């Protein structure tokens, strides 16, 4: 029996994870937590808000599924990796904002990171058993979001409800807006860099509107392996929780005979500057990805509240990155300080962009 601690139990990943756990006799939910919504009765140990590492300490899990949204997910990631416990990771910020710290914690603890993000789970599966030297590069696919064919000018007036209507994936509001700006793909490039140890120039992004191919790995012999399937998060969640078993899920097989067409194209980096901003922050290293992430969280929240235009999101992120210093952080405390400073600056810039 594998004991699962589920953090972020009431969100989109959390509720799908509950479905996977309840359907699998080998998985036992030992603890459940959420940031703000009540979770009493979901598991033997529950907690809403506060320091989730206290809950983990009592729960003694075999695997922690971290599906907390945002920077708040960091302490649980570091706690899990320091102890050598398997981390099923659905919290992007853990690797984006704290990639260096997370990898150092994993090195000390000796545990595994099992990615839950669909693209990274796909790449992880394609890489299974591959000799590291045989890998040429990684290709992450992006649906392109709801505004795929719009130019920068047309994007100025889009509303939160238009941005929340994602064409292929059903997800929480923060990640749905990030998908519409392509920041989500930018964060995933940084995440992939840390997860797979690949330099940024060997992580490619292509637009693939139907979201059937989740990632491809190119090998040095010219072959590429692709991971294909319905866009359904229960697959990567189940894969991470039951690894290496690959348990059954209710997700149906792809119907290839009905005429499946796979389309790919280059992303429009002019209309969607967040992708290049994220890549540049990743390449700059230090705390630049942490600052990028903090500024983006503030800007997305302001956009959802109707206080910032859609095109103000990359503007706030870019200006915050030039205003805040980004030297490496020695530990979580320093990272928390940098995150807070970036949020203050981004908040002030948000008010400036509007007025």
Taking the complex as a whole, the smallest distance from the CB of residue 207 to Mg ion amounts, in Å, to 14
Q: How far apart are CA 73 and CA 334, in angstroms?
A: 16
For the bound state, the minimum distance from the C-beta of residue 214 to Mg ion, rounded and expressed in Å, comes to: 8
Q: How far is the CB of 118 from Mg ion (least distance, A)?
A: 5
Comparing C-alpha atoms, which of 193, 177, 6 is closest to residue 96?
A: 193
Binding residue for Mg ion (CB under 5 A) from 86, 93, 100, 117? Answer: 117
Tell me how far, at minimum, the Cβ of 68 lies from Mg ion, in Å: 16
Ranked by CB distance to Mg ion, the top (closest) residue is 117
Residue 296 CA to residue 298 CA, distance in Å, equals 5
Q: Which lies closer to Mg ion via its Cβ, residue 17 or residue 346?
A: 17
- Per-residue interface string for the shown chain with Mg ion, residues 60-99, x marking contact by CB under 5 A: ----------------------------------------
**Binding segment (CB under 5 A) for Mg ion, from list 28-36, 98-106, 111-119, 308-316:** 111-119
Residues 6 or more apart from 310 whose CB is under 8 A from it? 155, 156, 157, 158, 163, 180, 181, 303
Q: Binding marks (x or -) toward Mg ion, 199..238, rule CB under 5 A?
A: ----------------------------------------
Q: Give min distance, CB of 176 to Mg ion, in A.
A: 11
Span interacting with Mg ion, options 80-88, 116-124, 156-164, 219-227, rule CB under 5 A: 116-124
Which CB, 143 or 320, lies closer to Mg ion? 143
Q: Nearest distance from residue 233's CB to Mg ion, in Å?
A: 9
Other beta carbons within 10 Å of 57: 11
Please name the residue ranges forming H helices in the chain. Answer: 12-23, 52-59, 74-82, 92-96, 99-109, 118-127, 152-155, 160-163, 173-181, 183-196, 234-242, 274-284, 288-304, 312-323, 332-354
- Min. distance of Cβ 54 from Mg ion in angstroms? 30
Segment contacting Mg ion (CB under 5 A): 18-26, 117-125, 131-139, 313-321? 117-125
* Binding span for Mg ion by CB under 5 A among 93-101, 113-121, 127-135, 306-314: 113-121
Q: Name residues whose C-beta falls within 8 Å of residue 243's C-beta, 6 or more positions apart in sequence.
A: 86, 114
Judge if the upstream peptide bond of residue 244 is cis by omega within 30 degrees of 0: yes
C-alpha separations of 103 from 89, 92, 173, 231, 279 in Å: 13, 14, 28, 29, 19
Binding mask 8-47 for Mg ion (x = CB under 5 A): ----------------------------------------
As a whole number of angstroms, the distance between CA 212 and CA 215 comes to 9
Please count the residues of this chain forming the interface with Mg ion, following the rule CB under 5 A: 3
Segment near Mg ion (CB under 5 A), from 115-123, 157-165, 294-302, 325-333? 115-123
Min dist CB 265 to Mg ion, Å, is: 18
Q: Is 191 in the site for Mg ion (CB under 5 A)?
A: no
Alpha carbon 281 to chain centroid distance? 16
Minimum CB separation of residue 272 from Mg ion in Å reads 16
Residues 239-278 binding Mg ion (CB under 5 A) are: none
Contacts of 170-178 with CB under 8 Å at 24 or more apart are 170/12, 171/12, 172/11, 172/12, 172/69, 173/304, 174/69, 174/70, 174/297, 174/300, 175/69, 177/300, 177/303, 177/304, 177/313, 178/274, 178/296, 178/300
Residues of the shown chain interacting with Mg ion in the complex, contacts defined by CB under 5 A = 117-119
């Amino acid at each position: 029996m594998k004991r699962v601690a589920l953090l972020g139990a009431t969100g989109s990943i959390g509720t799908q994870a509950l479905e996977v756990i309840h359907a699998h006799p080998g998985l036992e939910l030992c603890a459940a937590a959420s940031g703000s919504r009540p979770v009493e009765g979901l598991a033997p140990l529950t907690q809403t808000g506060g320091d989730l590492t206290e809950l983990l300490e009592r729960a003694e899990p075999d695997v922690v599924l971290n599906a907390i949204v945002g920077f708040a997910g960091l302490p649980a990631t570091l706690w899990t990796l320091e102890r050598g416990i398997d981390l099923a990771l659905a919290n992007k910020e853990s690797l984006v904002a704290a990639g260096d710290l997370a990898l150092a914690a994993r090195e000390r603890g000796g545990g595994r990171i099992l990615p839950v993000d669909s693209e990274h789970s796909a790449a992880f599966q394609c890489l299974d058993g591959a000799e590291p030297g045989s890998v040429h590069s990684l290709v992450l696919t992006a649906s392109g979001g709801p505004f795929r064919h719009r130019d920068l000018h047309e994007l100025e007036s889009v509303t939160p409800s238009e941005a929340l209507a994602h064409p292929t994936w059903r997800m929480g509001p923060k990640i749905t807006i990030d998908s519409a700006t392509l920041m989500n793909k930018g964060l995933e490039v940084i995440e992939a860099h840390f997860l797979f140890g690949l330099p940024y120039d060997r992580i490619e992004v292509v637009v693939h509107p139907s979201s059937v191919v989740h990632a491809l790995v190119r090998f040095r012999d010219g072959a590429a392996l692709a991971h294909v399937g319905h866009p359904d998060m229960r697959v990567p969640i189940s894969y991470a929780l039951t690894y290496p078993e690959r348990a059954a899920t209710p997700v149906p097989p792809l119907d290839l005979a009905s005429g499946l067409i796979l389309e790919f194209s280059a992303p429009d980096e002019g209309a969607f500057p967040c992708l290049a901003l994220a890549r540049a922050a990743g390449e700059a290293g230090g705390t630049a990805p942490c600052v990028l992430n903090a500024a983006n969280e503030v800007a997305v929240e302001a956009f959802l509240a109707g206080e910032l235009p859609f095109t103000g999101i990359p503007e706030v992120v870019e200006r915050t990155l030039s205003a805040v210093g980004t030297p490496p952080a020695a530990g979580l405390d320093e990272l928390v300080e940098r995150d807070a400073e970036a949020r203050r600056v981004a908040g002030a810039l948000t008010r400036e962009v509007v007025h």
